[in-house]
Structures are given as C-alpha cells and as structure tokens.
Amino acid sequence: MSTPGAARAWGLAGALCALVIVLDQGAKALIESNLVPGEQVDLLGPLGLTLAHNSGVAFGLASGGGAALVALTVVALLIVGVLFARNPTRVWMWVAVGLLAGGALGNLADRVHAGAVTDYVDLLSWPPFNLADVAITLGVAMLALSYLAEGE
C-alpha cells in the first residue's frame, strides 16, 4: 500500500531523474555541436572541455561491451528500483535514486543511440567524463550514506 510519503518520494525521484537526463543530454548536444573529437578547451585552472566517445563503462573500461553493457545498466536500474520500492521514505533515498537513474538513463540513451557515451569534462589527468557520470557517482555515495545512516 502506498503512503503519501512514498508517493511524494517517487515523484521527487522521478523529477530529479528527468532533470538529470535533460541537463545531461543538453550538455552533450552542446558539446557535440561545438567541438570535434579530441579538441580541448581550457576553462578554469585544471578544468577543461574535450569531446570523447566512450564505448566502455566508466573511464573506458570494458570497451566495446555493446549489448552486455546495456543489459548491465538495465539490471542495475532494476536493483536500484527494488531497493527504493522497499523503503522510498528512507532519508535521502529519493535523491540517490533520482541521481542514479537519471545518470544511468542519460548514458544509456547515448549507448543505444550512438553506440558510445559522450564524455566532455576534462580534469587534470583524469579520463574525460560527463554530467551523467557525476550524477551516478553522487547517487551511489548518497545511497551508501543513506544505508549507513540507518545502520543497515
């Protein structure tokens, strides 16, 4: 049975997920239309922009995974959905799930549409990444903190 708190949490997670997808896809489209692959633009100190296409998972690992990576993303989203469904009112859970789902779906859209994820944030000697990657990383951290805060 759904409670008003659970319904609110699902709504907030969905809204955050949609916001992440829109911002991620918008940033990627902007980069794709203004840079050529490998081009580097200095922004501020160690932060820059570059256009890279990643056919693997984070930082180019498992390059060329194709359908297996799509399946892995779907399985991960299902697991996150189950965790959320078990206790959607857990502290900060809606934020973690919204960030994770939005980031995963943003990168999944790239993978399905173009066969590779568009990366563009260039930070020192770190491999290029994108807004979806940041959302996924923050979502995982918040998910872990949410469980640690409640001792589970």
Catalytic residue among 24, 110, 119, 122: 119
Domain that holds residue 83: 4-149
Catalytic residue among 24, 110, 122, 133: 133
Rounded distance, CA 66 to CA 57, Å? 10
Question: Does residue 122 have an active-site annotation?
Answer: no
User: Looking at the chain, which runs of residues are DSSP E strands?
Assistant: 40-44, 47-54, 117-123, 126-129
**By three-state DSSP, how is residue 37 classified?**
coil
Domain count, the chain: 1
Per-residue pLDDT reduced to its tens digit, 89-137 = 988 899 999 999 999 999 999 988 988 899 999 998 888 999 999 999 9
Question: Does residue 133 have an active-site annotation?
Answer: yes
Q: What is the pTM of this model?
A: 0.88
